[in-house]
Amino acid sequence: MHRREFRNLICQRPVLLDAPLPSSCLSSRWSEAEIFHNLDEVIASLTSFKNICCDIVRCPSAGLNRFAMKTALSGEPPMAMNCELMRLCCAALGDTPVFGTVSTTGQRLEPYGTLDFDDAVTCYAEQGRALLEGGAQGFILCGSNDIQEARAALIALRELQDCPCIVELTVNSQGQVIGGTEPLSALITLQALGANAIGFVPTEASLSLAPLLKQLKPFATVALYGVVPRCTTPVECMLAGEALVAAGANLLGCSHQCSTTDQYALGVRLHNLPAQPVQKSGISALSSLHSSVLLGPQHPFAIVGERINPTGKKKLQAGLRQGDLELVHSFALEQEQRGAAVLDVNMGLSGIDEKAMMLKATGMLSRLTPLPLCIDTTRPDVMEAVLRRYPGRALVNSVSGEQARIEETLPAAAKYGAMFILLPLTDAGIPETTKERIAVVESVLETATSYGYGVEDCVVDGLVMTISANPEAAQVTLDLIGWCAETLQANTIVGLSNVSFGMPERQWINSAFLGMAMGRGLTMAIANPSANSIMATTQSYNTLWGHDLTLLLNGGALTPENV
């Protein structure tokens, strides 16, 4: 089954998956190895799902990876077991699509554990390849509590073949993903990375997922999947399923504690319900392991903290040359405390291994702060290495109209689902007029579309030049920002301090220009959150638009503590 066929399927009506089995997605009576000693019962169980109107049935291969199989009873190679089990399932189920299941390795991945990220990717690729050889028409990642492990599996499976991938995450009674990731953050991360459906399985069988799905639906660019809670009658099962569909579910499964009669009733009912289409094609949002940031005029103005950059910082340069991230650590916490929404990370410094240092820094920052990261580098190999391991949806700084950036940076950013800053310059240099810059923006966006990007996935850089060299520079930038907001309806960003370079009283020029740009539609700025004038302007703007009640609650007082 191709991804487009899967999309067509969910557009017709709600789709029913077989019930997720307990424990490691296999029968609780059998280990992964022992399943081959009970094949008749396994096949009979899967066939029963076909008979109760399931649209997709999963092959019980979840734990058959080389890390989880270290304690398996069978001496047969795990990959051969995957292929054979899938072949038997496909033969028994005929024209009913069978998806291969993969699950946890049982180990925590770096930067939170000891398992190397690429080793995990290789493990999932091996299993996925064997399942495809056996006839798998898609994949389901189940039993995952770790967003980084889910990313490793999704990257591996998406690199194999153009078939649908469904990711199931376990949530607790508070609606939080086990492992600490917010559901919205998980959704933003995984849909950008290429998941075709994202689902949730509750730890408590009686928990309804309808409120969670309703909350996530406005931000979903892919199908949502929910499990019907434990029910006592077929009617109760049907009503619970209808509630999930009404909340936005495109795919449903039953709790493993539901009876076959309940599941049959649900399957029949779903065939008569209208589909809940995926209405959003893109979303302007970034995410980290723990949280997310929504971008745009309907959301708070976002300051991208600029301080983690060695340019002009001798102490930071000395520390990086010694492999010391103490200042990076303190800059991150300071900027978070001061109200930054995103942290820019730049390790461009002569005399160091930029890739190694960037990986080390972003790994540390992922553990340290909930703020999403902006990966700031001119080297495509550094950017791609970081995006592959970053446990969220990052912002890439930047993609320009320069041929090398178009050919090398843009494809890598798209592969890992990152948003990108669109810098309107070309190999010929910086366009002087607004019209010329608009032409570059349109050209880059046209190319980005071929990689699956939309306007929502980019942030146009206003390309601020210093007014000390060109008094008209600010006006050109403001006009570009205005066009992006009114005509293109795109997010925009500026490197704020550039405008006042070489001028006296720079902080006042910067804050005045920031206010002018906000009025034209600017949504982000790269700036120093320690500048009171900048943060006061930002907080005032957010308060006036109803995004920030801090000023109202503090009687309108602007102080260093609350700016």
Tokens 């220009």 correspond to 513
Q: Is residue 140 part of a domain?
A: yes
Condensed to tens digits (0 to 9), the pLDDT of residues 439-491 reads 999 999 999 999 999 999 999 999 999 999 999 999 999 999 999 999 999 99
Q: Is residue 438 part of a domain?
A: yes
- Among 204, 220, 236, identify where a domain stops: 220
Q: What is the mean pLDDT of the chain?
A: 90
Same domain, 296 and 188: no
Under 8 Å between Cβ of 246 and 221: no
Q: Is residue 356 part of a domain?
A: yes
Rounded to whole angstroms, the Cα distance separating 40 from 43 reads 5
310: domain CATH number is: 3.20.20.20
User: Which of 438, 501, 439, 436 has its CA nearest to residue 464?
Assistant: 501
Give the sign of the dihedral formed by CA 39, CA 40, CA 41, CA 43: positive
Same domain, 317 and 199: no
Q: Is residue 259 part of a domain?
A: no
- Among 201, 220, 239, identify where a domain stops: 220
The pLDDT of residue 264 is 82
Same domain, 404 and 492: yes
Q: Is residue 392 part of a domain?
A: yes
Rounded to whole angstroms, the Cα distance separating 284 from 219 reads 9
Q: Is the pLDDT of residue 383 over 90?
A: yes
Q: Is residue 235 part of a domain?
A: no
Q: Is residue 229 part of a domain?
A: no
Rounded to whole angstroms, the Cα distance separating 206 from 195 reads 27
Mean pLDDT to the nearest integer, 6-20: 87
- Within 10 angstroms of residue 236's Cβ, the number of other Cβ atoms is 16
Which residue segment(s) compose the domain that 121 sits in?
21-220
Condensed to tens digits (0 to 9), the pLDDT of residues 267-286 reads 888 888 998 889 889 999 99
Same domain, 191 and 307: no
How far lies 170's CA from each of 10, 183, 264, 485, in Å?
A: 22, 10, 24, 39
How far is CA 85 from its chain centroid?
32
How far lies 537's CA from each of 476, 510, 511, 513, 514, in Å?
A: 22, 10, 7, 10, 8
The pLDDT of residue 560 is 45
Rounded to whole angstroms, the Cα distance separating 498 from 438 reads 20
Number of domains forming the structure of the chain: 2
The pLDDT of residue 92 is 92
Same domain, 177 and 298: no
DSSP conformation class of 14: -
Q: Of 46 and 437, which is predicted with more confidence?
A: 437
Q: Is residue 150 part of a domain?
A: yes
The pLDDT of residue 322 is 97
Residue 423 β-bridge partners: 400
The pLDDT of residue 108 is 87
Same domain, 309 and 177: no
At 182, list the tokens. Answer: 């917010």
At 348, list the tokens. Answer: 């461009």
Cα end-to-end distance, the chain, whole Å = 53
Q: Kindly state the percentage of the chain with pLDDT values over 90.
A: 73
Condensed to tens digits (0 to 9), the pLDDT of residues 515-559 reads 999 999 999 999 999 999 999 999 999 999 988 766 555 555 554
Q: For residue 504, with 0-12 CB atoms within 10 Å meaning exposed, 13-18 middle and 19 or more buried, which class applies?
A: exposed
Instruction: Give residue 308's pLDDT band: very low, low, confident or very high (50, 70, 90).
Output: very high
Using alpha carbons only, what angle is made at residue 74 by residues 71 and 79, rounded to the nearest 5 degrees?
A: 90
Residue 426 β-bridge partners: 429
Mean pLDDT to the nearest integer, 306-332: 97
49: domain CATH number is: 3.20.20.330
Same domain, 75 and 189: yes
User: Which of 117, 104, 147, 541 has its CA nearest to residue 370?
Assistant: 147
The pTM assigned to this predicted structure is: 0.93
At 198, list the tokens. Answer: 């994202």
Q: What is the CA radius of gyration of the chain?
A: 25
The pLDDT of residue 72 is 45
How far lies 84's CA from each of 9, 123, 135, 160, in Å?
A: 27, 18, 10, 19
Instruction: Give residue 32's pLDDT band: very low, low, confident or very high (50, 70, 90).
Output: low
Under 8 Å between Cβ of 179 and 172: no
Same domain, 311 and 400: yes
The pLDDT of residue 232 is 80
Same domain, 192 and 326: no
The pLDDT of residue 470 is 93
